[in-house]
Each structure stands twice: as structure tokens, then as C-alpha cells.
Chains A and B, each alone.
Chain A
Amino acid sequence: MMRWLDQCRRAKHRSAGGQAQIKPACRMKGGIALSAMSSITPVSDAASATIIAIEPSAIIILPLLDYYHQELTPMVIPGQTVTAGMPVASGILSTVDGTVTAIEGRAVAHASGRTAVCVVIEDHSLAEDDTNAALAIEEQHDSNKLSRQSITPNGSLTATSVSTSTRLTLGNIQAAAIHGLGGAGFSTVKKLSDFADKPIQTLIINAVECEPLLSCDVALMVSDAVRILDGIRLLVEMLACNHCVIAIEDNRIAAIQSMETALKKLQDKQGSFVANIKLQLIPPVYPSGAERMLVQIITGMDICPPNRPANQGVLCLNVATAHAAWLAANHQPMLTRVVTIAGPKAAQPCNVRVKFGTPIRHVLEQTGNLPTDTAVRIRVGGPFSGYNLLDTEAAITATCNCLTLDAASAHPTAEPCIRCGACNEVCPVELLPQQLLWHARAEDLAGLDQFNLDQCIKCGCCDWVCPSSIPLTDYFRFAQSVKQTREYRIAQAKLAEQRFQQRQARQTARKQKRKLDIDRRKAELRNRAAGKTTATPDHADQHPTTANGTKAPAGTATLADSTSAQSSSDIPPPADSISDTLARIKRQRSSQANNKK
């Protein structure tokens, strides 16, 4: 019944929309249609249409980790006063005005439940109007209601009318520290600057939620479509691309309407320009929101990593990233994101705007979703690709797009694989998960390579359909990290070997040089001695015959002349004492005198 109603609404919208929709270039292979997910109930339209604001947290925790989980060097010291938007490390901005209280290990939102070095900032604004904040909290407790404030996309933004800013540059984006808000958290600066020299023909704005449960992008589009479109316009201008496609799932009616209205408004303002920006409705099939899948759906090109879409002139950016680009053009750093709180155990499913670094516990408390019993499991990300949160003190980062609360029922025990092949059919990147499983269990890296484990996007579709409840994606994650660890070790070993070989080469070279030096020194001494012995008669007697053969020019004998020195060793050996030399000279003189006679 519900599905029928949904279809009716969609049909109605299509006819009412007026604008002719282009058909997607291609259908995604595999995937799971939303209609097949009976157990997933997205946040209702009403709830998803508003973004609620919450009281700021007293402390902000900013993990010093980059996209690749490399640790970053802090640029602040404990006790330092920071302002909102001030960098605390490369690519990480402070989200509040406050004081750095510590730089220490704290729990972070990661599947490992590990701690990482974080910058902990105490919020000044709370300390200043302490009484006000306390009052506000009290009031909230009294009413026991959620403070559903009017939609303010960014706390610092109060202007109701959007002033169209003129330009967006890479410098703006860098200063605003924009990271992709889709869920991967890749640096947008890096994404744009890696392909600065490549012409971008198509800009795809990913307004497809990455999981069916999420509605954070929808909420943003409903609440702030004008700014998003202006951000898109700025991005199109900056990239100088020919056309731009905004991809939205066709069941997100509110978002489509909001975007269409905003597009029309923009069209009235500057008509010729907007002709390049098009809305594209795509069927709600998970995981259409993945970059590789969406590029395939829109352009028909299947671009396998390590090749990237920008190499083919296609750039894919999230809709929230476009919104952040608008802020960046207006010199506003990216300090917040919209987080969906949903799931069967969520008391108040909603979309909430949260500052980066806010502890997750605080977000759940403020929205009235903090679970009271331990039977509730909190997941960061959706039910397909999320991970279990082990510590609620961990902070919200750019990648936390959703907090899913569901029952902490143990995963059903995995039965043996019956080779039904269901996983092969749903795999959107056309892998053979059942084959990969055997190799992953055996940690057989050659086999995993043969079946292209690297291409797995870990969407979790195979887990969803597996009748034996095998956690296939967990096996693939495990296998990928085994492979990475092994490759890392091999690379390290190769480097060590290289250094060892270089050192050996250097040592042998040094030994040879030392030997040569010694030889030269010996020759030099020998020459000097020889020069002395021959020079003495030279000075004593100017007779021309004495110079013949035996005379070596003393002092000018070069060090390298070891051979000539050796060949002239038939000259008398170096004199032991002056008396010996004198005796020899006397003998020579007498013999010369005899020859004259």
C-alpha cells in the first residue's frame, strides 16, 4: 500500500514537474532497490525536512588524523587561545572560540575504537554567558522538548537573502578546509588540485544519499537550496566545465521540489548560465550514491580505481560540499555538518547541524536520542556500510554523516556458504563475492588479486542478501588490510635492503679510496726521497752527464707518478745518513774525474 502511494506521488510529481527529465545514461548493475528493504524505514519527510540546532558542547575534540589516518602535527599548544576557523593542524580548523586545554589521546570515531592524539578545546562562548546557557538548558529540561529552532544552516549565518558572491578560488576552498561531506572525507582541495591541469567537462553533484536511511543531504536541499545552487554555480565557473548534473533519487520529493524552485529562481536571474545545470532523477537503488556508481549511472563510464573520474573529465562532488563551497566563497570556513540520527531505536529521528569535534554523546543527549539501555547499538554511518561506535565520547568528524541506533542483537551465526550466487547478482562492481570469500578466509593474496578485491567498494550489498548470514564485507575489509600490511612490510624491507646496499657500496668505495690514498702517499714519499738523492749531486755538480737518466725533478714529482717512481727505482736507494750520501758523491766525482781523463 505504502509503495503504491509512493509510486503515485512520484508519478504526480513527474507530471507536475514540467521540466523534461533526461534519462540516466546507464542503469547500475546489481545493487538493492529501496522497495526490497522492508526493514529500513527512512526518517519521515517532515523530520527530514528540518535541520535542528543544538546547544554547543562545552568541549570540542579535534582528532589530529588525516584522510589516510596519518597523524598530523599540531599547530597550537595547550593554553593557547583559538578562534573559530583558526587551523589547529594542516587541514583541521578549530570550530569554536576557546582555549586549547590539552593535546592528548582521546577516543575517535573509528571502527577500531582506538585513541588518537586530539586537540581538546574549551568553548569560551559557554563560559562567558554561563548563566544564560544554564538557563537555556534548564528551560529545555522544563519543557522536556527538543528545541526545534528555525533552520539556520550555519550558526554564524543570519542573512536571509543570499548575496551572490562573485568568485570561488582554490585558495578559498583551502582556507575553508573543505573535506568531502559525502562520507569518505577526502580533501576537496586535493581532489581539485590533483586535476587542476585536466579539463573537467561534467560536474556531477551527488545529491543521492549514500544509504537509504540517511536524509542529511535531503534536509540541506530542502532548507538551503538557493545557497547550494549558488555554490554549484561558483564551482561550475571555477572549473569552467561544460555542464553540471545534479543527481537526486526520485523518491526524495521534498528535495526535488526545493531544488527545482531554486533552479527556476536562479534561471530568472541569469538565464543563459543555468541552462548548463540540470537535475537528474535516478531510481532509488543502493549504492547509487557511491562516486563510482553515480559516475557510471550519469555518464555510462565505469571508471575503475586507480583511475579516477577526473581523468575522464568528470568530477563528482557532494551536495553538502557545494554548500560548503558557497560558504568558502563568502569567506566562511567549513565548521559544521548535518548529521542524520535514525534507526529503529532512535527516540527522535532527526537531522541536526553539528560542529565538528562535538562529542557524539552530546549530540545524542541534546536531541533526546541517548540510549538508556545497553541493548541499543550506535553505529556511525548507515546500516550497510557503517561501523559500531565503541565510545560515545568520540567526536563528530566530516565523515560522520549518520548515527544509526539499532538493537544490539548479535549477528546471526554464519552458516556455510551454499553457493547460491545471490551475492554475485547484487555486487554493483561485478565482483564474485563468494569466490573472494574463500581466498579471504585463506588469506590467499594471489587469489584475491585474481578476483579483483581492490575494486570492492565495501557497500555491504552481499551481506544483505546472503541467506547464510556470512559477514562477507567484514572478510573483505580484513583481507584488504592483510594485503596492505603485507605490502607495507615488503616495501619497508625493500627500502632497508636498498639502504644496506648503498651503505655497502659506499664502504667499498671508501676502502678503495683509502687504499689509493695510501699508495699515493707511499709513492710521494718515495719520490721525495728519490728527488732528494738526485737533487744533491745536481746542485753540487753542474756537469751535464749527471742529469742523464737519473735526474728526477725534485718537488715536481706528482703524487700519481707512482709508476714512474717505481721505474726510477734503479737509482740509488734513499740515503740513510748524510755521511753515506757524501761518500757516494765522492765516489761519483772520482769516477767522473777518471772518465775525463
Chain B
Amino acid sequence: MNDILVALLIFALAAAAMGYVLGWLADTPHTGDQQAALVDTVNALLPQTQCAQCGYPGCRPYAEAIINGVAAINRCPPGGDQTIIALAELLGREFQPLDATVYAEKPPLVARIVEAHCIGCTLCIDACPVDAIAGAAKLMHTVIAADCTGCELCLPPCPVDCIELEPVVDNWSGWSWPKPA
């Protein structure tokens, strides 16, 4: 009787130990390389607007925060549900709707400077994370629409509120065939 108990105990302990080790191995990548590769993959899924709406200064810092388990996967408003689904699939996490405390999901936007009101202060040029604003001190600025990610970071610094956000003009290359019914 005693022997049976001892055997059971040994097997139970061994199973627990192995389970723990396997769980630990499966949980997170442990080498720096693996981690960096995973950050790259997550970063590639993010829309690269560098808008900081997630609370991190850029897309890569947010990707790092996701991999480190600090941030949730539902904090990217420009990416929307599509990005959350892709992240959930990649990381094996549960799908969560977009965090309402961050921002609402918006259609793709592009900034436009009302040129009549622009005073040429260059503050928006400093704020633009992707160098999409051209201009110089005391000269009129303009947004390079093709480069603008619609991150809204140029809005707060403008002293005369001359920047407007408009939905992206649907150009011909953006048209796609409808899905057959």
C-alpha cells in the first residue's frame, strides 16, 4: 500500500515539475533575439502612424510593451479591429474590443493646413512624427498628403488652430472589386 502511494507521489511530483518547466518554456520567448524578432513581427502589424494614442511614444515602443506583457493589445485606434484580430492571432491572446478609454476608431484621416490662417510658426513641423509637413519660419506650411498618417499630433501645438483633419480622398488606386454576394 505504502509503495503504491510512494509511486503515485513520485509520478505526481514529476508531472507537476515537467508541467511547470514546459509551461515556463512555452510562456514567453527567453532569448533576446527571439524577443526582438517578436517585437518586429508585432511592430509590422501596427499601422505605423506613430500617433502615440496608445500612450506609448510610437508604434515600436507599444510593440515592446505588448511583448513585455505591460500593454493590452486593444489600444491602437488607427489599426482598429483588424489590427486587434491580427495581434490576437499572433500572440494567442483573447480578442478584446478597442479600449474605449483610448480613442474611438476613426476612418483614415489626413491633415490639411488652412493656408490663409497659417502664420508659419513651424510648431507643427516639430510635432509631426513622420516629416509630412513642409514649410519654414514665417512662410506658409503645407501637409504632404501622401505622407500624412492622420495622427493628429500637429493639432495641439498649432497656435491659430489652422489644421483640419479630413477623411482620405478615395483615389482610383484605392478602389477594390466588391466581394461577390
- Whether B49 sits at the interface, judged by CB under 8 Å, is yes
B180 and A475 contacting across the interface, CB-CB below 8 Å:
yes
**What residue in chain A is nearest B129 (Cβ atoms)?**
A500
Question: Quick one: given A414-B180, A497-B59, are A69 and B173 in contact (CB under 8 Å)?
Answer: yes
Whole-angstrom CA separation of A395 from B60 in the bound complex: 49
Contacting residues, chain B, for A474 (C-beta < 8 A): 177, 180
Smallest CB separation, B152 vs chain A (Å): 14
Residues of chain A from 437 to 473 with CB closer than 8 A to chain B in the complex: 471
Contacting residues, chain B, for A475 (C-beta < 8 A): 179-180
Question: Quick one: given A493-B48, A494-B48, are A499 and B176 in contact (CB under 8 Å)?
Answer: no
18 further A-B contacts with Cβ under 8 Å, apart from A471-B180, A481-B176, A485-B176, are A65-B172, A70-B173, A71-B172, A114-B172, A474-B177, A475-B179, A478-B179, A488-B174, A493-B48, A496-B49, A496-B147, A497-B50, A497-B60, A499-B130, A500-B48, A500-B58, A500-B129, A503-B129
Whole-angstrom CA separation of A71 from B173 in the bound complex: 9
By Cβ-Cβ distance, the 10 closest A-B pairs, closest first, are A481-B176, A493-B48, A69-B172, A477-B177, A497-B48, A496-B48, A474-B180, A499-B130, A478-B177, A500-B50
- Whether B149 sits at the interface, judged by CB under 8 Å, is yes
Residues of chain B from 17 to 59 with CB closer than 8 A to chain A in the complex: 43-44, 46-50, 58-59
- Kindly supply a per-residue 1/0 record for chain A positions 483-501, scoring 1 wherever the CB is within 8 Å of any chain B CB and 0 otherwise: 0110011101111110110
**What residue in chain A is nearest B175 (Cβ atoms)?**
A112
Whole-angstrom CA separation of A488 from B47 in the bound complex: 12
A499 and B47 contacting across the interface, CB-CB below 8 Å:
no
A488 and B177 contacting across the interface, CB-CB below 8 Å:
no
- Whether A196 sits at the interface, judged by CB under 8 Å, is no
A503 and B172 contacting across the interface, CB-CB below 8 Å:
no
B177 and A499 contacting across the interface, CB-CB below 8 Å:
no
Total cross-chain contacts (CB, 8 A): 70
Smallest CB separation, A454 vs chain B (Å): 15
Question: Quick one: given A496-B49, A499-B131, A503-B130, are A488 and B173 in contact (CB under 8 Å)?
Answer: yes
Residues of chain A from 79 to 112 with CB closer than 8 A to chain B in the complex: 111-112
Contacting residues, chain A, for B174 (C-beta < 8 A): 485, 488
B172 and A484 contacting across the interface, CB-CB below 8 Å:
no
- Whether A559 sits at the interface, judged by CB under 8 Å, is no
Smallest CB separation, B137 vs chain A (Å): 16
**What residue in chain A is nearest B179 (Cβ atoms)?**
A478
Residues of chain B from 130 to 181 with CB closer than 8 A to chain A in the complex: 130-132, 147, 149, 171-180
Q: How many residues of B contact A (CB 8 A)?
A: 26
A496 and B50 contacting across the interface, CB-CB below 8 Å:
yes
Contacting residues, chain B, for A471 (C-beta < 8 A): 180
Whole-angstrom CA separation of A481 from B44 in the bound complex: 21
Contacting residues, chain A, for B180 (C-beta < 8 A): 414, 471, 474-475, 478
Smallest CB separation, B176 vs chain A (Å): 3
Whole-angstrom CA separation of A112 from B48 in the bound complex: 30
Smallest CB separation, A386 vs chain B (Å): 14
Q: Chain A interface mostly helix, strand, loop or mixed?
A: helix
Whole-angstrom CA separation of A69 from B175 in the bound complex: 10
A70 and B172 contacting across the interface, CB-CB below 8 Å:
yes
B172 and A116 contacting across the interface, CB-CB below 8 Å:
yes
- Whether A390 sits at the interface, judged by CB under 8 Å, is no
A478 and B176 contacting across the interface, CB-CB below 8 Å:
yes
Whole-angstrom CA separation of A386 from B114 in the bound complex: 44
Smallest CB separation, B130 vs chain A (Å): 4
Whole-angstrom CA separation of A71 from B176 in the bound complex: 16
Whole-angstrom CA separation of A475 from B177 in the bound complex: 9
B176 and A496 contacting across the interface, CB-CB below 8 Å:
no
Residues of chain B from 46 to 101 with CB closer than 8 A to chain A in the complex: 46-50, 58-60
Contacting residues, chain A, for B147 (C-beta < 8 A): 495-496, 499
Contacting residues, chain B, for A4 (C-beta < 8 A): none
Contacting residues, chain B, for A494 (C-beta < 8 A): 48
B179 and A496 contacting across the interface, CB-CB below 8 Å:
no
Contacting residues, chain A, for B48 (C-beta < 8 A): 492-494, 496-497, 500
**What residue in chain B is nearest A66 (Cβ atoms)?**
B172
Contacting residues, chain B, for A488 (C-beta < 8 A): 173-174
Whole-angstrom CA separation of A489 from B45 in the bound complex: 11
One of B149, B171, B173, B175 near A496 (C-beta < 8 A): B149
Whole-angstrom CA separation of A23 from B179 in the bound complex: 43
**What residue in chain A is nearest B79 (Cβ atoms)?**
A493
Contacting residues, chain B, for A70 (C-beta < 8 A): 172-173
One of B44, B60, B177 near A111 (C-beta < 8 A): B177
Whole-angstrom CA separation of A485 from B174 in the bound complex: 7
Smallest CB separation, B77 vs chain A (Å): 15
- Whether A502 sits at the interface, judged by CB under 8 Å, is yes
- Kindly supply a per-residue 1/0 record for chain A positions 528-571, scoring 1 wherever the CB is within 8 Å of any chain B CB and 0 otherwise: 00000000000000000000000000000000000000000000
Contacting residues, chain B, for A485 (C-beta < 8 A): 174, 176
Smallest CB separation, B60 vs chain A (Å): 8
Whole-angstrom CA separation of A114 from B59 in the bound complex: 36
Contacting residues, chain A, for B177 (C-beta < 8 A): 111, 474, 477-478, 480-481
Contacting residues, chain B, for A497 (C-beta < 8 A): 43, 48, 50, 59-60
Contacting residues, chain A, for B46 (C-beta < 8 A): 493
Contacting residues, chain A, for B176 (C-beta < 8 A): 478, 481-482, 484-485
Question: Quick one: given A116-B172, A471-B180, are A503 and B47 in contact (CB under 8 Å)?
Answer: no
Whole-angstrom CA separation of A111 from B172 in the bound complex: 12
Contacting residues, chain A, for B58 (C-beta < 8 A): 500
**What residue in chain A is nearest B46 (Cβ atoms)?**
A493
Smallest CB separation, B1 vs chain A (Å): 58
Whole-angstrom CA separation of A239 from B50 in the bound complex: 51
Whole-angstrom CA separation of A308 from B48 in the bound complex: 35
Smallest CB separation, A410 vs chain B (Å): 11
Contacting residues, chain A, for B178 (C-beta < 8 A): 478
Whole-angstrom CA separation of A65 from B171 in the bound complex: 11
Whole-angstrom CA separation of A475 from B58 in the bound complex: 37
